């Protein structure tokens, strides 16, 4: 991991997916369907499974949504977390219906007796709880004590919720401390990392539309992961949840934290480029999504950025005028006309 040791944390399970400890960093998403609409929710989760989402979260807004989890669980293959706000009864009902994890804040679901009922249900079924505080849900006391929204008020507001669970001898906890501000998010997680050894769910909340949110999330999540901080991630985008998973996987891939599927390396093009490299890369990306091989594929515009610069790639293309070279591990294996380049590349990849 680029020379950085990953923070040591406790390990907990969300269904069959480990979070923290020696577990791989997982990628999560959240459905944007009405959870009560079982078919729509299952269909969206199936699409998330296709892009290798590890864990999915659904909003539980009422009893009908909580009960829907039972049927949804029967039809999906990844763990499901119930996101519950304010009503402890929805948390308990979600647990009864087979949810694999809860996302609640103990401080906003009522009295200690109500929290105890939720904790008892989770203990009986071995279910973990994610305690999350973001910049918009800091307690009034902490806002006053630490003079507004900052890493101190976020961290210690979260600690209040953690202590409620610890006082009930519950420690299957993971933590999230999200803000839409990248620097504030990084500072908050760094500070919390000094105080506890619970696993962290990391992300930039309300990151924005797909393009803007991708950049913000890559900077924030990538910075934390490069420090060794982070056990499971969620990229929050205003768009199709499938894009969240794709971005999350690519962030992990860029830091060599996972090796799943083909990775494309391509040059930005310049005046030396004499083939339609942009179109070639776009088409290659679509075709490579269907190939399940952990390989690095280089698609370069000319011989300057060809076999030499891309010699670490398993296979690649170096463009010429109306043609291109296909190479493996930096060694040229054939010359191909431009219109046949992509088909020949895919054919060679399938032989690997």
pLDDT tens, position by position, 28-39: 999 999 999 999
User: Model confidence at 138, in pLDDT bands (50, 70, 90)?
Assistant: confident
Distance CA 293, CA 218 (A): 24
8 A C-beta contact, residue 252 and residue 225: yes
The dihedral through the CA atoms of 181, 183, 186, 191 has a sign that is: negative
What is the rounded end-to-end Cα distance, in angstroms, of the chain? 26
The closest alpha carbon to 272, from 242, 238, 235, 304, belongs to 304
Residue 308 has pLDDT above 80, yes or no: no
Report the pLDDT value the prediction gives residue 108, as an integer from 0 to 100.
Answer: 72
Rg (the chain; Cα; Å): 23
- Band of pLDDT at residue 274, cut at 50, 70 and 90: confident
Cα distance between residue 324 and residue 69, in whole Å = 53
Q: 141: how many CB neighbours lie within 10 A of its CB?
A: 12
User: Which of the four pLDDT bands, split at 50, 70 and 90, describes residue 2?
Assistant: very low
The pLDDT > 90 percentage for the chain reads 57
> Looking at the DSSP assignment, which residues form a beta bridge with residue 266?
299
Q: Are strands 263-266 and 296-300 parallel, antiparallel or unpaired?
A: parallel
Q: Residue 186 — φ and ψ, nearest 5°?
A: -60, -45
Distance (Å, rounded) from C-alpha 142 to C-alpha 153?
Answer: 5
Contact 31, 245 (CB under 8 A): no
pLDDT at residue 3 is higher than 70: no
Which residues are CB-neighbours of 120 under 8 A, at least 6 positions away? none
Over residues 298-320, mean pLDDT:
74
pTM, two decimal places: 0.85
pLDDT at 309: 60
Phi and psi angles of residue 31, each rounded to the nearest 5 degrees, phi first:
-70, 150
Residue 1 has pLDDT above 60, yes or no: no
Which segment, 87-91, 198-202, 206-210, 298-302, is predicted with the most confidence on average? 198-202
Nearest CA to 35 among 73, 78, 68?
68
- Residue 161 has phi, psi (to 5 degrees) of -70, -40
Note the pLDDT tens digit of each residue in 45-55: 999 999 999 99
Evaluate if residue 42 carries a pLDDT over 70: yes
Confidence at residue 305, expressed as pLDDT on a 0 to 100 scale = 60
Q: Which tops the pLDDT comparison, 67 or 309?
A: 67
Average the pLDDT over 122-127 and give the result: 93
Which one, of 219, 230, 158, 159, lies nearest residue 190 by Cα?
A: 230
The lowest-confidence range among 111-120, 170-179, 236-245, 304-313 is 304-313
155-187 per-position pLDDT tens digit? 999 998 899 899 999 999 999 998 889 999 999
256 SS3 class: coil
Which of 11-20, 172-181, 271-280 has the least mean pLDDT?
271-280
State how far the Cα of 67 lies from the Cα of 343, in Å rounded to an integer. 49
Exposed, middle or buried: residue 324 (CB in 10 Å: 0-12, 13-18, 19+)? buried
């Amino acid at each position: 991991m680029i020379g950085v040791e990953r923070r040591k944390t406790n390990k907990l399970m969300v269904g069959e997916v480990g979070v923290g400890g020696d577990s791989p960093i997982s990628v999560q998403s959240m459905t944007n369907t009405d959870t009560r609409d079982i078919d729509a929710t299952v269909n969206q989760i199936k699409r998330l499974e296709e892009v290798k989402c590890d864990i999915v979260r659904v909003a539980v807004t009422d009893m009908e949504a909580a009960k829907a989890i039972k049927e949804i669980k029967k039809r999906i293959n990844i763990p499901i977390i119930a996101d519950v706000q304010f009503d402890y009864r929805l948390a308990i009902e979600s647990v009864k219906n087979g949810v694999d994890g809860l996302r609640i804040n103990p401080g906003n679901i009522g009295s200690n007796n109500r929290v105890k009922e939720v904790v008892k249900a989770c203990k009986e079924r071995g279910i973990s709880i994610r305690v999350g505080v973001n910049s918009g849900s800091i307690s009034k006391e902490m806002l006053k004590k630490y003079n507004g929204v900052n890493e101190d008020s976020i961290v210690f507001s979260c600690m209040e919720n953690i202590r409620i669970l610890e006082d009930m001898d519950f420690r299957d906890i993971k933590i999230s401390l999200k803000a839409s501000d990248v620097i504030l998010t990084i500072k908050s997680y760094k500070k919390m990392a000094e105080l506890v050894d619970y696993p962290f769910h990391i992300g930039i909340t309300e990151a924005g539309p797909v393009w803007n949110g991708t950049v913000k999330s890559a900077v924030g999540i990538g910075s934390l992961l490069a420090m060794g901080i982070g056990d499971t991630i969620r990229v929050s985008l205003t768009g199709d949840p499938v894009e969240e998973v794709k971005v999350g996987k690519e962030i992990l891939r860029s830091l060599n934290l996972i090796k799943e599927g083909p990775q494309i390396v391509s040059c930005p093009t310049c005046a030396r480029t004499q083939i339609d490299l942009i179109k070639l890369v776009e088409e290659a990306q679509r075709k490579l999504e269907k190939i399940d091989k952990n390989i690095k594929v280089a698609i370069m515009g000319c011989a300057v950025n060809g076999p030499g610069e891309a010699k670490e790639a398993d296979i690649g293309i170096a463009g010429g005028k109306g043609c291109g070279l296909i190479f493996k591990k930096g060694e040229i294996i054939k010359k191909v006309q431009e219109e046949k380049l992509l088909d020949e590349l895919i054919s060679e990849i399938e032989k690997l």
